[in-house]
Structure formats: structure tokens, C-alpha cells
Structure 1
């Protein structure tokens, strides 16, 4: 590959999103079109493009959308992508590359703040051996994309901005075909060169280390409802952060004390209802009108307005939060739009909203003066304490509010008229026709049949100015009257707006969204008679491109459905990292990912994705003493248990793969964290104490932010032991001794200081003031037991609590935490209990009609697709089918040890790492993904069946794997055991430690039969 000669580029004249000054490369919610036209030689042999951007890009070649990226990462080790453009270029002609760069201008949970920039280099080679390079430099052209509305709210605090696209802005603005060679870019700006490869903040460029994600078209399955609606009359949404937390563009939570004001002109004395999206108190804890307190009920605030001007003040004081958008919905229904008028209290240009603050407290004089003001004239005397919210920091509209709070017009029988509506569900050229209602807007409720994640795409014919509003959500719940209720995820603006140009048009979204159901609201221009025609409406399913290598089937149909549901859940939560959920967050939560990785190994063989995740997490140690909770992110946060689970995960990855290169890369991170803990967070008495987020489960455990938390002390013991194991694998015997000693030190401290003699259990915590917690949880006992952080004398005592919860003890609140209980059951050999819990908790999801596993154990959960809840796929494949790695050697060795429980048969495949590395085992890797030729797929295939006096097991091993077969304890010592091999070698059956055992060589295939 040729060396980099391209320059990082940007364009001049962008603004910082409303402050009126030149930017630092961080314009707010900014969309840059960059392009370059060039000639391609007739004898083109190959053309390879390397490209990256900060923060995101969409790549076009000759007007065709090719891909998007880059991978999420840290700016100091920034990823670039590589494309083979040979099939997409036209030899002997003028060609063009177009890049849409998206720069949010502020951080989120997927993006630590960098600065805007684009880097691309096309290296072409002719058949005669001539090399031609086209790279980003000052000859490239750029301009802000005028069709993307920059005045939109955030999707959520975890994600970027809502997507609004105005197709009418393409007309006459020179952007409709801007990525084609024929386009005239003479009026566009020339790019400015930021510098060569290696400039800050992108000091190191790293090639993409996983494949590109899927783009699999999925169509709706049915239309559930058509109705005519009217949206709420008035919606205001403003971003408070630039005013009340000035200068902060991170995702770190803050507390603030402040007020938001506006003036409302009423034509008469009247009562107006105001709702803050997300429920009472989400955006305002209290409100006043003309100095008098407003009243609140379950639907919001009630404002009593007098005729004329009314000073309305909201108290937006908060203790701790990430999202600073304040959204209010005023009135609802027909005719309300013209009832009131909003005016800036200071009479200034800009928005109609003004802030006061930030203040030190609500008792501060300035706060009280504004809060107690009774009139507009009085508030203007306090001008020095007030600041108008910039117009750029207000939303042009709020699609979520317009859809979610819309009301039916009451004439559904005569409202929206349509033809051939089911054509929306068909992947052909049929067209659905929707006519303008007599009044209001047309709304369609569409079911895609299963949870999805990806890019919305549609093709339609519409009158100019028609607004198409899209809203995706995850769940419908049945109601007692036979209908259904939509469950909205408050705080998630999972929406898109498209304003149509005239005629036929196709649009592919640039935002990835998770959903199952879609509401499409069509808002026709006033007086429009012509219908909207829809030919295509689909989702481009966008996930990690797993091969479905793992399989599991047994004689219990519900367990089979549970396994498939969990595997699919894992797929939807696999992007360029593991993520918690595809809709609400799309965030790489490190602790969630430990469990997700084990599930991925058993179902898909997702080793390469896990490898990337653990190294990416380790890189967060450049700024934090422990691995951060979610990475790479604008929220610098430590969730202690997650940092410890990362160590577990690194050890497990090597145990599964034997990837020596990974061990060399990750071991310095592991030692850095574990020594940081020993040096900075171990008390003299040996207990681990850290001020951090110390949760484990969505349950009422006592896990204070400051203090000693028992479950994570136990997890630290296990983390030190695993670090010691990794040290031995790395040949670092002194490190191993150090970590073993630290593990013993913490274990001793747990048993000396955290045991309660009266309760005969471990307390949840010791608070920072020395107060011992009065909360006892099964989670804490489980973690101490699982991590072997308990004395031999106490072990059977706390073991009982895992099977018979004592009165008053906290029980598990999430499938995530149940994973550790199931691990403890597996450690005890209580596999029937595992099946019982799986059937009860996950079977309830199947019975409810879920297509993916829920975040919590009830259907009224926040996320209806959450891979931290996909545990059964791991436990069924690992224990019922019976395949798990021995690990820790340079040879791929596995146990095949089925646990039949109450099942009669099971069969399946367990994926093992593909290829070789360092002469040992693991996933073979190259410096970049392009050109990688993986070895043949490899899975361990197992089938077993049994009756009252017989057990038969069939197996087939890949040529790189050997196994020890361990028959279940139902096969007695006196049984007759025979081995019949089709291929390979086997030892004679031997009865040891209450099991029959047979070792088989690499690539063996055959049958083992036992009868008694």
C-alpha cells in the first residue's frame, strides 16, 4: 500500500453553532459535502481508496452510495477504511468522489470530541504499471449541505442529532447530484488543508480491523392501522447547555441551578396546559406565571394566563444529568395554534427563550430575583442576569412530540383514503397510494415483524413540500379491550423528517436506528389534492456480518425458540463493537460486553469483534485509572464492576482463542489497571474503595458511589487471579505472584470486614462514613461465592442463599445479573436449575411474543432488545450441548461434556476460532481487513440422545481441535462404554471423578455409546 500523501482537509467559514465566532473545527450538527472530480485512465488495473473522517462519513462514487464509517475509536488512534473502487470507476472518463462528513460539534456516548476533518486517498494503478494518486488537498471542493437542518434536537444523550432532510433545498442549490462527475462545483469553496497525516488530534491512523457491516434489505410485514391525526399545536425545544453550562461539549453529567423564561401573549384570560416531554419533572421541577406558582398534575403544568403579556418562568434545576434539551408542548388539538404568541422577554433578536444562571443555589439572590419577578417590566430590570438562547440552539420542530402527542381527528371512517396499501410490504414495483385527508395528517402504523436495526430507505412520488415524518419504536402491549398500547421510550427521539421535492425521489437515511414498529405520518401541503405514492419502504439491516456458525436444537421447542431469540438479540447488539441495545443507546458498555462476548463465541464465533472491543476499552486508560464504563465516549466514567469484568473478558478471550498477539497487546493495559487499583484504591485494611458508579444490577442493592462495595471487592479478587493467569501465559512469573498476593489480601479483607455474624451473610457495603449497610442481597452473596472470595467455613452458608432466598434479601432485577447466578449454578453442577430459570424467565418473553430479549424481566422494560439478556444462548450451547474450551494452551483443546438434565436429545455446532496464529490457535489476522482470506469455517459438531438405560454421543472435530469427552453422571461406573471412530484416534474410556472420559485427537469424528 502506498504511503499517505493526502492532507486532512476542512472548509473555512463554518460557525460553532450559534456563538457567532469562527469554529475550532467543531460546528454544531454540521453536514459537509466534499468532492473531487478526476480522470481515470483507460487501462485502469486497480483503484484502492483509503478514507476516514471526524466524526462520520458517507462515501459516494459517481453518485452511488458506497459505504459509511469510520469505526468508532479514540482520536489518538483513529481508524480508516479501505475500499476497492475498481468496479465503481469508469475507465477513460471523468469520475467523482463525494463525501458527506457529519460533525456533531459535541460529544456523545459513541464519540469523544475531536474536530471536523476529512482524509481520503485514492491510489490507482494502470495495466502498464503507472501509479496515480488522488488525495484530499486544497483542490477539493466543499460546502455545507443545505438540505440537512442543523436546528434539530439530540436523538438521545447517548447519540447524535435527529435527522431532518429538506429535499426542496436541493432544487437550485446545486446539491441534488453533487457526487457525480457532471456536477458543476465552480461556486463551491476550495478546501483548506489542516495538515499531513499525523497531526493532532489524529496522531496515529489504524486500518479497519473488522469487516464492514451488513446492508440487508428488510421489508414490513403488515400495516396495523391507518388513521387521521392532528399534531399538538405548539412545541418548543431549546438546548440549555450553551447558556447554563457554557463551554462544555462533553457528555459528562452535570448539576445546574437555573431558570428558563419566555413571555406568552394571550388574547384573553385563559388556562393553558404545558407538558414537558418525558413526564413531570423531566425538564422543569416547577413553574411560575407572573410570579404565581403553576399547578401540576399527571399531565403537566397548568398555566393561568391573563390577557396580554405573561411572564412564564420554569425552574430547570437538576442534580445530575447528561441531556440539556428542554422541550415543552403547549396545548393540543385543533384550533390552538393561534391562541397564544411567544415573545423574547428582553425584546432581543434570537429565540423567544431566555435563561437565568447558572447560579450556585436556588437561595442565591439572582435566582430569587428572577424567580419572584411578577412582570415583563420587572424582568427587564434584571437584564444583566439573563441571556437569550441563540436561535441556533432551538429546534426548528420536534418530530417526536408531533407524532407521539398527536390526536385522532375523530373521522377515521372518512379521513385518510388509500389504495393498495399492502404494497408497502412487498419487495416489487407495486405502489401504495395515500390521499390527502380532508383535515389533519395521514398516519400509518407499520409492523416490520421483528426488531431491526439499520437505515430507513424509501422511494416515493410526492407533491413538493409534503412532510414525511418517521418514528420507530420497539413495543406494543395488548389492552383489556382487545386493542394495543404503544410503549414510547421517553428521552429517545427515534425519528426522521423528510420534506419532499416534487415527483419521484429516493432517500436513504444516514442515521442507524433500532425499532420494530414504524409510524409514518404524511403531512400534505395546505389544499393539496395529489396523493403520495410509495413504492419502497424498508430497513437496511446493519449489523456485524456474522456467519451463523453456531446451532442448537433439542426436544424442547421453547428452549429452541429461546436460543434463537437470544442469538438474534446478540446480532442486533453487534455493530462495530458490542452494544447494549440497538435503539436507545447503541453504546459499547464494557461490562455488558463481557457477557455478550461469551454469547457471541457460542452462537456466531464472534472472536474478532470481541478482540477489537477489549483493546478499545483498554485504551481508555490514557485518561482514567480504571477502564471506563462505555467507550469511546464523551462521558468519562468508571463503573467499577465493568472495569473488573473487562479483565475477566480479556482472560476469557485468550482462553477461547490462544491469540498470542492479543495477549501481548492487552497485557500492559491489564497490569496498568490492576496496579492502579493496588496503589490508589486499596485501603490499609485491604478493602477496595473507590468513588465511582458502583452498580451491578437494576435492583435495590446498596451500592453507594462512595464507600466499600462488597460485590466489586469479590470481583476484584477474581480479576487479580485472572490477571495472574495472564501473567503466567505471558511468562511474567513475578507479576503472577504479585497479583495472587493482592487477590489473597482482598479476599482476607472481605471475610474480616464485610461479614455480618447476625445475618450470617455479607453486607452489601460499608458507606464512606463507616456505616455498615443494612441491605443484604442475593447478588452480593452470589458474586462472593462465584469468585471464591469466601472462607471454606462460610461457603456452604452463603451457597444456600443462591437456591433459597432468605426473607428480606434483595433478588435479581435483570437478566444481566442473573448471568452470574447461572454461572454459580454451573459451577455447582446445578444444570437443571439453569434450565428451570431459562424456561421461566425467558420463556415468558417467548410467550409474550418477543423477538428479542428484554433488558429487564418484565415486558414494560426500557429496551426490548438488550444483549446483556441473551444468556441462555451461551448456557445451552456451553452446557446442554456441552462444548467449552479448556484454554490456556497453544493447542485448541475442548471439553465435550453434555448436561442432559430433563432433555432426551440435543444437537448443534459450537464455533471455534478460524485460522491460525503464531503457530498456535486463534484467529489469524493481517494488518488490515482488506484482502483477508479466512480459512474454512470450523465448528465442533455434537449430537447426543438418551433413554433410561442408554446414552449415545456423536461428535465431529475440526482438524485443528482435540477434545476430552466427558459423559454425564447418568452414565454409571458399571456401564458398557464403546467408542467407534470414523476418523482420528481416541483413548480407551476411563472412569475418573464420577465421569466416563475419553480423549480424542484433532479432527476426530465418531460415536460413543454407553449402556447399562
Structure 2
């Protein structure tokens, strides 16, 4: 399959006023928009949601509809959605999958121009749809369904009772979920029962059932027989056009075989495989020709009571649907197992609390199979059972799905290549944890509020993508309760309304960072009522000192050991950040009066948090309980004291001395007894130190702690915890696998931009930036950073006569902190002496152009 190239432009064609567009294979266009009210996306819905007849129970439906077009269309508008996932075909050609994740109460639909695939005369639209059991929508249960509407010139085709539908007989409705956190399931497929060619024009569907249009299924009185099915019906009470780019889909062949051997048959579902590098000589001989596409890979017959194991290494983690084109003996079992990494030369698909195990049974013919849902796969294993005759593998690999990130930000620091390594590891981690949303890791794949906050710290400086941040803010707000409470993640999974109070605080902080970096006032104004309700709720949990005290809900704090009784400093640090950020948002929106209210609350809280200071320990305690300080201390609490300027100058010095002390630790506790942060909470630790003048020490500490993640024998992504094979969350090390890619850990680009390059955004949309000479001795550093207006380029040459080269795009004011140049000598701007009247409040303002400052 060809890859997709993302293009963003203003579009003017008869069916669309404007939108943004992704180029899909076969000249299909995929449209998406930030404006859900656009009439050309939403107007004149007449389609009905459809599914199998009520007497047929199946999680998968095959659907098709043939129709005649009077002429080949010059353009067409095709809208489609499904609960929970569709695979779309037009005239036998695969188009794409969708929709983007959403809750049914704000159901996302895709908009495509299929003109390149439609023709004069007979056409066929076909779809394979899977419903995820457990889907909910507010107080309603989810329903399986497909919605389609095509407008081509003067003709309209809609999903209704005229569509032909059939269950997918090859699918096992008891397919197991990958883990307890998500509703996606593994495949359990019997290809003997597969309906071949249902997507083609010539397929005979005369024996198929007519689709059942879906009427209202809840409420009293019940829907009557005469009641008609409508586009909006429960649980799909609102339709929202796609608001993120379409994913790139690409077939990737597995070309590196690292193990091929027969072993004694075991329980595959609970097995692991020790890797020795052994490759059966018969398989090795044919593998080179297989790689050249000259011939299939021949798998010899099995010895009795044995199982073939073939292990492939993609070289990096790929989010993809495992795929096989294979022919072999009827009823041969092939178990397709995946894993993002291996430990101690042992492969297991039971990893990161997940079970990545698809099972297919061959039909005896040439079978083409692709898993319904993607797996995070660096290692792909085929476990083959029951073949007494040779098997031919024509293709083994994966169908990658990938968010179309564009790498914009880049840095070069020859004196400290490890900083570039951290930068690139952050990018790689964001990339591998993202499909149609920022998700936390391989295991949960949930769009958490705190995940979006930390993702932004990496994304805004590397990819400069705004769609994902906007979408997560909106989708979590859509789940808000009337009292202001928000769930930790959205869309919700089942009836799990998980509440994590620090996630609520970080949603507010994300709203601030989104406005700062995107300048999208429209979306922020729309979300302001949600923010106001949430801030009022958080305020209701505070005591007379302005501190959140003994709240009724849990809070995360990265699950490390922390005293959570009474008023917790870490949680109140998040709340303080929310108060300050919300006050700034209101200030930017010209609501000075209300802004003052929140900054006043912030000042009161900041003052009250001094009660946590322990003079004897010279540290802030974790908690303040009924007028007494906790006897537990952590890096978390003291990081917050530094970040938010809670600590006085003397306290800051004492804290820094303790945090930077070179003592022994086990990544759970330090020798002095304080609890250590996990990788995710490390952001506040390093930001707090750097912001108080300890930039070099902060970066060194960051390097020392994160460097095991950057070793060549890893995926060079940033981990969930300090280990891949254990957790320290209870205060003791416990053996279990953890994700080696965690979005909460991708904050380094924000630190690098701010402290290594001296770049800081100060106005919404990055319309104003301040550049300060960094407190490092690197001789040459070069960087480019994305903004909504284009790339800002910052290059420092630090020597006796130093140089700053900066490129400022149109729409941005760059303010150079002249005082930070630490030089009483003459300063030149573009080889001309800089005069004092060109400097305002110690800042030199530059607009739109290339500049060289010699100092």
C-alpha cells in the first residue's frame, strides 16, 4: 500500500467551503476540520445507522451496497462512521479505516472524496465493522452500527434497509481483549469460514440479509413500529466531523529473522521463548529468496508434538496490524504473537500487562489475513502447530498505522550529543505512543489529561502539532459532570469514570499551554465554561488556608510512594499551577477582574504551603495533616516548592543541596530517606532546579538518570519507570514488565529549548518570545523550533567574541535579553553598533528577518 502525505491548505471545491486535507492512496482525499459547525460537513444527513438483524448475534458485520452512477463524478462527498471501527472498500479497493476515537455522544465521522474510485455504471461500497463490547455513552450503553452517506453530483446514497449485511463467520465473538484497560481484542479467526471477495463488484449477495435500520433503543415509552430510524439516535446523539489528520497506513514486511526452530508443544498463550539465534538450515536457505520476493518462505512439516517458532525483529517498535499471506494445510494453527521489547533474550507476548496474541486457522487455500486491531510490535513471532505438510508464507509483517507527525524542530549540540539523544528519544516516544490520540503507553492506550500535558512539553518543540492537544482538551471536557468534575481520560472505557484530581489540574494547565503555543483563542473560549466549573469544584475542596485538603477523590502523583493524607504538597503544587495558569488565560482574554481573583487565591495558597517546611530536615514535607507536618519527604514535594517559587532563597539553596547530593539510591528511595520521582514526575524536579539557577546540575542529573534508556540494546524510547522489568510504586521493587515508552516522560525538549537555547514563549500563539543567553559553556549550539508562524532559528557561538544568529518569522516579536549577554563590551546587530535607545527594559525587539548579534 502507498503511504499518505499530509497536506494542509484552504480548500475550495463545490462540496466543501474549506477544510484540511490528507492525501490517501489511490487519489482519495480525506477531509478534517477544527470547525465542527461547517455546513458542508454536517448538512442534510439522511442516512440511518444500520446493523445485522436482531436475531443474528455478532460483533462483526460485513456490509455492502451496489448502486448505479449516471456519470463518473468530478467530486464527491462521502461521510462514514461506525461503532466501533470500520474498514472501507470501494469497488474492491481498500480505502482506509476509522473513525478517530470518540465517544458515541460526540461520534466522530470521516469525510472523503472518493471520485477517483467511483465510475459510471455499477459501483459497490463495502465495509467490515467491529463493535467493541463495553462501549458506553454517558448513561447509555453503546450500540453496534454503521452510518454512510455519499453525495455524488445529483445522486445521494445512504445506509438504510437496502444495504446487504452478513455476519463474519470466521470471527470468534469470544476473542480475548488485549488487556483490562481497553476494549480492543485479539483476532481468533477460522479462515475456513471466511467470506472471500465480499468487497468486490461481482460478489453475489443475493442470499444476504437486508440491514436493520437502528431506532431509538432507550427511554419510555419505547419506540413504536411506525417510528422511523434517524441519523441522530441513541447513543449517537451528536455527530462531529473528524478533527485530526488521517493516519498513514503502510505495509511493512518482516525482513530480519532472528530465530527459527521447532520446540516441544506447549501452552502458547502462557509461554515464553528463550532466544539463542538459532535458525533452522532449511528455512535459512529459502529466506534470501523470500526477501527478494522471488518465492515464498517454505516452512517444512513439523516433527510430531512440536511447534514451529519463527521470530522476526522489525528493528523498532511499530504500531501495526499483524498481517500474513499464507497457504498451507487445512486447519493448521498459526499463532501470531507480538512484543514491543524483549528482556534477557526471552520473547513473550504476555508483556506490559497485555496479551498480544492473534490466532488463525488456515483454510487450505491461499489466505490473506490482517488483524483487526494494531499491536505495538518490534518482535513478531509465528508459532505454527499442526502442519504435516509444508507451509508457504508469501508475506509476513504488519500494516503500520501512524499519526502523520512532521518533524520540524531539530537541535545540534556537538559538545553534548546526549542532549540530542534525549531530544530524539522524546520524539520517538511521542511517535510510538500516538495513533489517533496522545496515549500514555502501549498497555493502556488511554487519552489521559496528564498524558496530554506532558506530551505537549515534547510535541510543541519537535513536531509543532496542535490538533491532538486540542482534541484531547475537548474530548475530556465532553465527559465533564455538572459539578465540574472531569474524568482522568476520555473517551471513557466501559462504565469506568476514573477521577484523578491532579489530572483535572493538568487539564487546566494544558489549556494554558495550548493557548500559549497555538494561539487558538476560539477553542479556548469555547472551553472556558468547562474550565470555570472545574476551578470552582477544586476550590470547594480547599480549607481555610486555600489548600486542597483530604479531597474525596484519588490523585496520581505518578503512583510513587507519597503521603496522601490531609493536604498533600504535590497535589497542591498542581493546583497552584492551575490557579496561576488559569489566571493568565483570563488575563489574555481581557478578563482582568476574574484573573485577579484566581491569582489572589494562588498567592494565598503559595503562602500557606510554607507550613510544610521542616526546619530540621531543611526540606518541605509531603503533607500537612491537622496542623502537623508529615514525617515523609520526597523529591516530588520539593520539586513543586522550587517550580512554583514557594521556597525562599535560603530554602531553595537547602533543597538544591539535598536534591543534588551524590548519594546512593535504588530509584525508589535515596540514602537520605526521601522518595525519588519516577521518570514522569521528573519534569518538575528538573524544571525546578533549572529555574532557580541550577541549569547545569539539572541537566546532568537528567542525563545520569535517563541514560540507561538511551543504550543501544534498548528501543531508545523513554520509559514508564526506571526499570522495564519492575516497579517501585509500593516502596519496594516488584518484578513485572513496564512500558519502555511512556508519553509522560517526553518533557526534555521543553527543558532543552528553555535552558540550553534560552527560548521562552511569552504571548499566545508564540507571537512574542524571549531569548536569553544560556548558562552553559557549549561552543556551538544550533536549533530550529516550530511556531504557528514558521520556524524560529537560534544559533549560539560562545567564545571570547560570541555570536547569536536568530531567524524570526513574520508574526513574531523576538525579545533578546541584552543583560544576559554578560558583557560590557560593544554589542553589534548585523555588524552595526547597538545603541542604548534601541533597548527597552533590557530587551532588544526583533521582527521578521535574519539577525546576527555579536557580543
TM-score by length of 1: 0.72
Q: Match of 1:940?
A: 792
Q: In structure 2, what is the Cα distance between the partners aligned to 1:609 and 1:112?
A: 27
Aligned residues: 775
State which of 813, 826, 837 in structure 2 corresponds to 1:976: 826
Shift in Å, 1:203: 1.5
Choose which of 45, 51, 56 in structure 2 pairs with 1:4. 45
The one of 425, 438, 460 aligned to 2:303: 438
Q: Match for residue 788 of structure 2?
A: 913
Change (3 A) 1:115 1:989: farther
The 3 A distance-change label for structure 1 pair 472 and 626 is: same
- The Cα shift of 1:415 comes to 9.6
Partner of 1:189: 209
Match of 1:783 in 2: 640
Look up the match of 1:177: 197
Mapped partners of 1:958, 1:834: distance in 2: 31
| 1:774 aligned partner | 631
Matches within 5 A, 1:279-290: none
1:93 maps to 121
CA radius of gyration, larger in: 1
Asked if structure 1 preserves the Cα contact closer than 8 Å seen for 2:317 and 2:377, the reply is yes
Give 1:630 deviation, angstroms: 1.7
| Cα shift at 1:696 | 0.9
Query: Relative to structure 1, is the Cα distance of residues 521 and 986 closer, same or farther in structure 2, using a 3 angstrom cutoff?
Result: farther
1:1000 is matched with which residue?
846
Alpha-carbon shift at residue 821 of structure 1 (Å) = 1.0
Cα distance change on mapping 1:734 and 1:961 into 2, 3 Å: closer
Taking structure 1 as reference, are residues 611 and 988 closer, same or farther at Cα in structure 2, changes over 3 Å only? farther
How far off its partner does 1:604 sit? Answer: 0.4
CA shift at 1:54, angstroms? 1.5
The equivalent of 2:745 in structure 1 is 869
Partner Cα separation in structure 2 for residue 740 and residue 900 of structure 1: 30
Q: Does 1:162 align with 2:28?
A: no
Secondary structure, counterpart of 2:711 in structure 1: helix
| 2:634 matches 1:611 | no
TM-fit CA distance, 1:543:
2.2
**Alpha carbons of 1:900 and 1:444: their partners in 2 closer, same or farther (altered >3 Å)?**
farther
Deviation at 1:504, TM superposition (A): 2.7
Residues 156-208 of structure 1, C-alpha deviations (whole Å, 9 max, x = no match)? 012222212221112xxxx2111222222222221122221222222111110
Q: Which residue of 1 aligns with 2:333?
A: 467
Gaps of 5+ in 1: 17-26, 126-130, 234-398, 915-937
Tell me the residue number matched to 1:230.
264
Asked if the contact 1:906–1:945 (Cα under 8 Å) also holds between the matched residues in 2, the reply is yes
CA distance in 2, matches of 1:111, 1:815: 36
How big is the shift at 1:114? 1.8
Q: Residue in 2 aligned with 1:668?
A: 529
Shift of 1:121: 0.3
* Cα separation, partners in 2 of 1:729 and 1:986, compared to 1, 3 Å: farther
Separation of aligned partners in 1, 2:382 and 2:595:
59
Separation in structure 2 between the aligned mates of residue 455 and residue 110 of structure 1, nearest angstrom? 30
Which position in structure 2 is the counterpart of 1:835? 699
- On the 8 A contact 2:483/2:533 being kept in 1, the answer is no
The 5 A counterparts of 1:34-49 are 34-49=63-78
What residue in structure 2 maps to residue 585 of structure 1? 444
The 3 A distance-change label for structure 1 pair 988 and 1005 is: farther
Question: Which residues of 2 match residues 219-298 of structure 1 at below 5 A?
Answer: 219-232=253-266
**Cα distance in 1, alignment partners of residues 699 and 140 from structure 2:** 42
Go from structure 1 to structure 2 and tell me whether the alpha carbon gap of 1:714 and 1:866 turns closer, same or farther (over 3 Å shift): closer
Q: Which residue of structure 2 lines up, in the alignment, with residue 640 of structure 1?
A: 501
Q: CA deviation at 1:462?
A: 2.3
* Equivalent residues of 2:148, 2:158 under 8 A apart: yes
Are 1:225 and 1:446, in contact at CA under 8 Å, matched by a contact in 2?
A: yes
Secondary structure of 1:232's aligned partner: coil
Distance 1:892 1:977 in 2: 25
The CA deviation at 1:407 is: 8.9
Note the alpha carbon deviations across 1:946-983, whole angstroms, 9 max, x for none. 23x132222222222221233695x432233212189x
Q: Could you tell me the TM-score, scaled by structure 2's length? A: 0.84
| Corresponding residue to 1:124 among 135, 152, 158 | 152
Paired residues of 1:602 and 1:911 also in contact (CA < 8 A): yes
Distance 1:576 1:110 in 2: 21
1:534 maps to 393
- Name 2:23's counterpart in structure 1: none
Alignment match, 2:163: 140
Mapped contact 1:418–1:433 kept (Cα < 8 A): no
Give me the whole-angstrom Cα distance separating, in 2, the residues matched to 1:785 and 1:802: 11
How far, CA to CA, are the matches of 2:591 and 2:312 in structure 1? Answer: 59
Give deviations 1:52-111, integer Å, cap 9, x for gaps. 11222221212222111112222222111111111122x223211112221122149999
Q: What CA distance in whole angstroms lies between the structure 1 residues aligned with 2:350 and 2:404? A: 30
1:324 alignment counterpart: none
Question: Is the Cα–Cα contact under 8 Å of residues 8 and 196 in structure 1 kept in the other structure?
Answer: yes
Deviation at 1:4, TM superposition (A): 0.5
For residues 814-963 of structure 1, the aligned pairs below 5 Å read: 814-851=678-715, 852-860=717-725, 862-888=738-764, 892-899=767-774, 901-913=776-788, 938-947=790-799, 949-963=800-814
State the Cα distance separating 1:760 from its structure 2 match: 4.1
